[in-house]
Structure 1
């Protein structure tokens, strides 16, 4: 009998693996609706949906291995990173999906959330004030108008699977929708800045590297409290706090 392994689990949702089947348990069926809809529309490889019985969505495992993991060096080739860039460009060039996504929050919403998180990081003593202040200034470049595209919305490096130099699947679409293309590219390369050039080579034109760096700061500042409150350690080597320090 196949063993049950916990891929990720926190108070909002959990993902279990049983053999070649992933079981996503989420009491927020709106997130599952977004995921199912986005995978049907996305012009890139996505997991096969096996069945859905709320609150569970069953997906077939995609072949290959993750492009990398946050906090660990990636063993994938430069060609695989470039292929990821090309796949993201294909997604961004696709017709817009009907919903706004995580990468499509308004500038006012983002600025208010960012200010609130920066205040909490300093007053709670989680991060030094100078580190927060500097990264808040860097993040400002991301707070500008953008042309909406079809975004994944949570394009962590662990969500892109490769076999050799080929993309075999992109997983976890619950944050997908209309948003900023550079948010996706920044999320993919967060903690793997050395592969940004490879991703850009595959993606093509239209990339402002200063905005990519701004999103690295912005995403990290916004993520620290959530990670702490859900039992994760953003200060692990190579993770969000290290990304913020690297921006100094």
Structure 2
């Protein structure tokens, strides 16, 4: 890594940190299992992924992928409708692949987790009770049986890169597991629901949009406390609290 001028902290909290050193990303993770999942998921996934340069737990080194992210949460996406459709086609290819062999998230206990997080949001004063109650009502539609697919598990808008109208890489696979296809679609369009039609133009329209909307509420309700406790701001423009308010 001779000749590197600076080290950039991409994201950092008590569990994980990602640093950019030139064209190399160093991911430091306290959980060895997450590193193992990320490496194996990238090996199995039939879509463009970063090149693994080396892995010496707790550090994983991967090459930067070309292009730009589809966008950022809280900002309009600069990507074209064709780029979103290309992302949809890539996600469909992933979901049509046999799921990975490890255990994914189960429905058991999700109701209790939702109740606990909703209570915290109200009791802490983070959100008003009527807003939380309305989104909890919507969110319950996502808690239903699903056929497990190869789910990325953290398919944020910053995790898909495109160059023009072509997908050049999908990054951050540590949450990959057998799971709900509509969760991936919901996370990618969280705060960018106006892009759902573009995404489905490539993915296919044989999806239940009400369940995607339910996952927008469910994911925002479940994630908000973690974000606050780890130094992130779900009340920032276009982020989780705005997503919840848009359901009213």
Give the TM-score, by structure 2 length. 0.97
- 1:161 is matched with 161
Report deviation, 1:106.
Answer: 2.2
- 2:7 is matched with 4
Report deviation, 1:132.
Answer: 0.2
Q: How many residues align?
A: 245
- 2:20 is matched with 17
Helix, strand or coil at the partner of 1:7: strand
Q: Does the 8 A contact of 1:100 with 1:179 survive in 2?
A: no
Cα root mean square deviation, aligned: 0.7
Q: Does 1:217 align with 2:220?
A: no
Report deviation, 1:108.
Answer: 2.6
Q: Does the 8 A contact of 1:44 with 1:170 survive in 2?
A: yes
Measure the CA separation in 1 of the matches of 2:170 and 2:9: 19
Measure the CA separation in 2 of the matches of 1:99 and 1:109: 19
- 1:52 is matched with 55
Measure the CA separation in 1 of the matches of 2:120 and 2:84: 35
Measure the CA separation in 2 of the matches of 1:110 and 1:21: 37
- 1:99 is matched with 102
Measure the CA separation in 2 of the matches of 1:228 and 1:39: 30
Q: Does the 8 A contact of 1:152 with 1:184 survive in 2?
A: yes
Correspondences of 1:121-136 after superposition (within 5 Å) = 121-136=121-136
Give the TM-score, by structure 1 length. 0.97
Q: Does the 8 A contact of 1:118 with 1:132 survive in 2?
A: yes
Report deviation, 1:183.
Answer: 0.2
Report deviation, 1:119.
Answer: 0.7
User: C-alpha deviations, 1:63-82, integer Å up to 9, x for none?
Assistant: 00100110111000000001
Report deviation, 1:206.
Answer: 2.4
Correspondences of 1:22-171 after superposition (within 5 Å) = 22-101=25-104, 105-171=105-171
Helix, strand or coil at the partner of 1:44: coil
Helix, strand or coil at the partner of 1:52: strand
Measure the CA separation in 2 of the matches of 1:167 and 1:207: 22
Stretches of 4+ aligned residues off by more than 3 angstroms: none
Measure the CA separation in 1 of the matches of 2:53 and 2:108: 39
Measure the CA separation in 1 of the matches of 2:210 and 2:174: 27
